[in-house]
Amino acid sequence: MSKKSKNVIIILACMITLVCALVAILPGYHYSTKLNTTVTVKDGKVDPASARAGLPIGRSGKYVFTADWWLENDPGFVTALSISDETGREVFSVSGQELMCDSVVMDLQAGIYTCEFEFLADAASYAAYCQAHFPEEDIADFDDSFVKDGTWDMVYSIEAGPAYRSGYIIGIMAGILFGILFIALVAVLARKDTTAVSKYDERQIAMQGKAAKYAFYTMLVYSMAAAVILDLNLVPVISPAVLLFAGAMLGAGVMVTYALLKDAYFKMNESKRTWIIAFGIITVFNVFLGIISLARNEILADGILRISEVGNLLCGVLMAYILILCCVKNIIDRREEE
Amino acid sequence: MKNLKLKSARAAFDMSQQELADKVGVSRQTINAIEKGDYNPTINLCIAICKALNKTLDELFWEEAE
């Protein structure tokens, strides 16, 4: 067996082990349900007074409930939500004009949970609900200033997701590790001659230095602009993480552009075609995940652009740009050689 | 400034840029950049090129007074 084949097998084994370990360690399960209902308020009476939706949880574990609803105009009533397990035991309840919230970490058994929504438009029903669900808490007086007659099409979303942020961090670290393994695999596959040394020559190293310098200045200017934007809250719709991530993408874009145009991006004795195919795979993967986020209406669902929603799209855009640049450079090189 | 001496010495050996590059352990684009005057090679690379083309440093890299 050749050294190249051995390296490929080792890297593939590492990737498979990593994926298996992740599946075993991380719960990573998200269960969700939606409720679409039309609620009418007339003379302080709500119709219907309540609605139900089932939330199936397939695997026992620690979860956090996230409740959310969206509507362009505030409804003229308060929504209260209580979630009960199959035995009828209440595990979570919340009420308020703003229903968007996360629960505490809960140990849940697999089964179908009932999400009961109650629509409250008067002080008496609100007090009764609070008495039944939060008997030991001091509840603020019912503010009826928002109560009004009308009909609203409500869309409620309840999600039970993994409890711990550490799961998210482990997921990201595993993603980075998987990316490194993928790049290592491509680097092995891209070597044209396994007996020859695959390295950068002195001009390529010098050009990479220049590329890094331009990337550094770009990121310096960008970081200062981002600091001002964040300090003055000029673009509240974009989260700080997205701004930082976009800066990293910009710096990488500048560095890759300069290095590619100066023939300092690919090592000697490396197949450009293999790298271009790999870039294509990464682009498709990231754009696909970005489109899934778009299709799920996750982007800007809560009015803020978050890294978990647009990170893949940003990566996809950068990779697509690099891919196009590689193709253009290939065409220029061929013409030069001719 | 273009290095025509290098280009002609390479041509005299009937060697392509890629062949010279392989012989001295750099990329074809680096040889191209040296011939076009876009890159000043280190002394190590100059010596390697001279050895590959059987020339001296003066013959390939010294600028003659006009």
Question: What is the tens place of the pLDDT at every residue in A270-296?
Answer: 888 888 999 999 999 889 988 887 777
User: Given CB atoms, is B13 within the 8 Å cutoff of chain A?
Assistant: no
Which tokens sit at A240? Answer: 């700080």
Q: B11 vs chain A: nearest CA distance in angstroms?
A: 16
Model-level pTM greater than 0.80? no
User: How many beta-carbon contacts under 8 Å exist across A and B?
Assistant: 27
pLDDT tens, residue by residue, A19-72:
777 766 665 567 888 888 888 888 878 888 889 888 888 877 778 888 877 665
Closest Cα in chain B to A201:
B26
**CA-CA distances (angstroms) from residue A245 to A61, A236, A310, A321?**
32, 16, 10, 16
| Interchain proximity A203–B29, CB inside 8 Å | yes
Instruction: Look over chain B and give the mean of its residue pLDDT values, rounded to a whole number.
Output: 89
How far, in Å, CA of B32 to CA of B37, rounded?
9
A229 has a pLDDT exceeding 60: yes
Q: Which CATH class is domain B4-60?
A: mainly alpha
Average pLDDT over residues A134-158: 77
Taking the Cβ of residue A203 and every Cβ of chain B, the question of whether any pair is shorter than 8 Å is answered with yes
| Residue reference for tokens 């979860």 | A63
Round to the nearest angstrom and report the end-to-end CA distance of chain B: 14
Tell me if A203 and B25 make a contact (CB, 8 A cut-off): no
Residue pair A35/A115 in contact by the 8 Å Cβ criterion: yes
The answer to whether A67 touches A156, Cβ cutoff 8 Å, is yes
Q: What does the domain layout of chain B look like in residue ranges?
A: 4-60
Contacts of B44 in chain A (CB under 8 A): 202
Tokens (6 digits) for A144: 């009826």
A202 in contact with B at a CB cutoff of 8 Å?
yes
**Spatial contact of A205 and B39, defined as CB atoms under 8 Å apart:** no
pLDDT at B57: 92
CA distance, residue A327 to nearest chain B CA (Å): 17
The structure tokens 């711990």 sit at A164
What is the average per-residue pLDDT within A198-216? 93
Most confident of A147-151, A191-195, A279-283: A279-283
Contacts of A93 (CB under 8 A, 6+ apart): A80, A81, A82, A83, A133, A134
Average pLDDT over residues A228-246: 89
Give the pLDDT band of residue A18 (cuts 50, 70, 90).
confident
Whether A165 contacts A70, CB under 8 Å: no
Query: Is the minimum CB–CB distance between A263 and chain B shorter than 8 Å?
Result: yes
What distance in Å separates residue A258's CA from the closest CA in chain B?
15
Q: ipTM greater than 0.85, yes or no?
A: yes
Q: Which amino acid is at B39?
A: Y
3-state DSSP assignment of residue A252: helix
Per DSSP (E only), the strands in chain A are 31-42, 45-47, 50-57, 61-70, 78-84, 90-96, 101-102, 106-108, 111-120, 150-162
How close, in Å, is residue A257 to chain B by CA atoms? 16
Residue A97 predicted with pLDDT over 60: no
- Distance, in Å, from the CA atom of A127 to the CA atom of A133, rounded to the nearest integer, reads 10
- Residue A53 near residue A133 (C-beta atoms within 8 A): no
pLDDT given at position A302: 65
